Amino acid sequence: MTDTPATGGQLAGLQQTAGSGPRVMTGPQPVPIGPAVGQAEAVLSKLLARVLAETGTSRQHYLAMQRLAGLGGSATREGYVFDLSDALEIDLWAAGELADTLAEAGVLAEADGLIRLGDRGAYLRGQIAGSAGAITRALLAPISPADVETTIRTLREVTQRGRALLAAGNGDMTAA
């Protein structure tokens, strides 16, 4: 990597070196994706929290409904509880209690050995999806569909690689 003297009040890529004044770094620079993703996640989480508050749904109950959708809309109780425990990072006992609470509230229903959304769960999920979808459409309307698709592909790839790093345990965190 090479550097050249800073000119014209440039701020990006500056490096202070002892006695030499600011220098502009040329060559590969780290992409500042972390702050951008973090800020977007924080804002989108706040918007989701508003939608959930409107429906009287806790974040944990929402995530539990999302997990069931991620399992194809139905699962055995054992499979669902195990998935909840893993995804929500709660113990199996707490995951079972969560499933029971949702079933008692009519959010979940069990038939033929499978758990599915109950009438209340289907209604809530539809309400949440409608409200969140309206917000998402408003946020994305001025952005090119190609840019949105590129962002989705990039985030999916980052997520997949991150999961691989987590699955590798304490191995090389740079070998994604």
Are 75 and 68 in contact by the 8 Å Cβ rule? The answer is yes
pLDDT for 16 equals 45
Model confidence at 173: pLDDT above 80: no
pLDDT of residue 10: 38
The residues, any chain, with a CB within 8 Å of residue 61's CB and separated by 6 or more, are: 98, 102, 107
What local confidence, expressed as pLDDT, does residue 25 receive?
55
Instruction: Order the strands of the 74-75 sheet from edge to edge.
Output: 74-75, 114-117, 108-111
DSSP string, 62-91: HHHHHHHHHTTSEE-HHHHHHHHHHHHT--
Is residue 5 a contact partner of residue 24, using CB atoms and an 8 Å limit?
yes
What is residue 171's predicted lDDT score, i.e. its pLDDT? 57
Task: Check if the beta carbon of residue 139 is closer than 8 Å to that of residue 152.
Answer: no
pLDDT in tens, 132-168: 999 999 999 999 999 999 999 999 999 999 989 988 8
pLDDT digits (tens, 9 = 90+) for 86-138: 999 999 999 999 999 999 999 999 999 999 999 999 999 999 999 999 999 99
Residues 6+ apart with CB under 8 A from 135: 47, 51
Q: How confident is the model at residue 83 (pLDDT cuts 50, 70, 90)?
A: very high
**21-74 pLDDT per residue, tens:** 555 556 676 678 889 999 999 999 999 999 999 999 999 999 999 999 999 999
- Helices in 13-168 by DSSP H: which ranges? 33-55, 59-70, 77-88, 92-104, 119-140, 145-167
In DSSP terms, 17 is beta-bridged to: 21
Q: Does domain 54-141 fall into CATH 1.10.10.10?
A: yes
More confident residue, 172 or 156: 156
Mean pLDDT of the chain: 86
Coil vs helix vs strand at 21? strand
